[in-house]
Amino acid sequence: MKKKEIKIAIIDLYNNEVNEGIRCINEIVSDAVKKNNTAKISSRRFETRYKDEVPDSSYDIFISSGGPGSPFDGVNQKWDADYFKMLDEIWNYNQHEKENKKYIFFICHSFQMMARFFKFADVTERYEKSFGVLPFVRTNEGKKDFILSGLVDPFYAADFRQFQVVQPDKKIIDELGAKILSTEIDDHVHESAVMAVRISDEIAGTQFHPEADPSSMLFHLKQEERKKHVVEKFGEAKYHQMISLLEEPDKIKLTRETVLPAFLNSAIEKLNFIRT
């Protein structure tokens, strides 16, 4: 039987800010298309926050990006309402569709938006901005989950946070059937922030940036303001250590090659099986 097209929507929440995130996501999507060459796959970027472009229901896989500022910036704005309407449609569709599900992955800013939508935890301003290549740990559920199972503890990832997802609500998590997959390592707080969550078999997200590669992090780390932030918080030696971590294959490179590719390849495989 002729295969139908699998459509991937890249949801851009950078609000026209210069960034490396979309380039990295595009490259990972391109790699997944090449790997899954028996399927007909197309992708399109939607500038949701800047132009209020929202993918319609014909799309199968959604990757929602990071972005600047507060996850509450869009309250009472059309793009925010349209974004949440899209999430509501995806969620309701998956509750009634038995096989041909829709898959969505949330990154950083989008992860905070996801927490707003599902209300499984509080979204608050962090006590200080977090920036750099930082270590995180997997929960027992995270060690078993296929998007994180290829990592080690601690694993390293790019982290840019002014806001955070904290104090998970066990009642709502249990009602959703959700699982917390990763938390931060931070000695300055009583409760670590949630860094990765699986809402369902089709819906997951990370507070860190799994798409980041060494080039994208060098782009950020070499900007004077961000270099100053890291040096003032961690010291000059830690800054240079972050630079060196970019070239170690078991650090940020491993995260880049593991998390989002695993999500994409699994979704494509399941959709391609159904449509074959």
The number of beta carbons lying within 10 Å of the beta carbon of residue 123 is 19
Per-residue pLDDT of the chain (276 residues; tens, 9 = 90+): 444 899 999 999 999 998 999 999 999 999 999 999 888 999 999 999 999 999 999 999 999 999 999 999 999 999 999 999 999 999 999 999 988 999 999 999 999 999 999 999 999 999 888 888 889 999 999 999 999 999 999 999 999 899 999 999 999 999 999 999 999 987 666 568 999 999 999 999 999 999 999 998 888 888 888 788 788 877 888 888 888 888 888 999 999 999 999 999 999 999 987 665
pTM greater than 0.95? no
Q: Write down all domains in the chain, each with its CATH number in brackets.
A: 6-212+256-275 (3.40.50.880)
User: Rounded CA gap, 85 and 101, in Å?
Assistant: 17
User: Rounded CA gap, 98 and 116, in Å?
Assistant: 26
Supply the pLDDT for residue 1. Answer: 40
The number of beta carbons lying within 10 Å of the beta carbon of residue 37 is 8
| Kind plus residue range of the DSSP H or E element containing 258 | helix 252-275
Supply the pLDDT for residue 274. Answer: 67
User: Rounded CA gap, 207 and 200, in Å?
Assistant: 17
Supply the pLDDT for residue 25. Answer: 98
Say if CB 10 and CB 43 are below 8 A apart.
yes
> Which residues, in sequence order, are CB contacts of 263 under 8 Å at separation 6+?
103, 105, 147, 204
**71 cis-preceded (ω within 30 degrees of 0):** no
Q: Which two tokens stand for residue 144?
A: 């078993």
Edge to edge, the sheet with strand 6-12 lists: 41-47, 6-12, 61-64, 103-107, 203-206, 194-198, 179-184, 122-138, 155-166
Smallest CA-to-CA distance from 204 within 170, 172, 181 is with: 181
Sign of the alpha-carbon torsion through 269, 151, 162, 176: positive
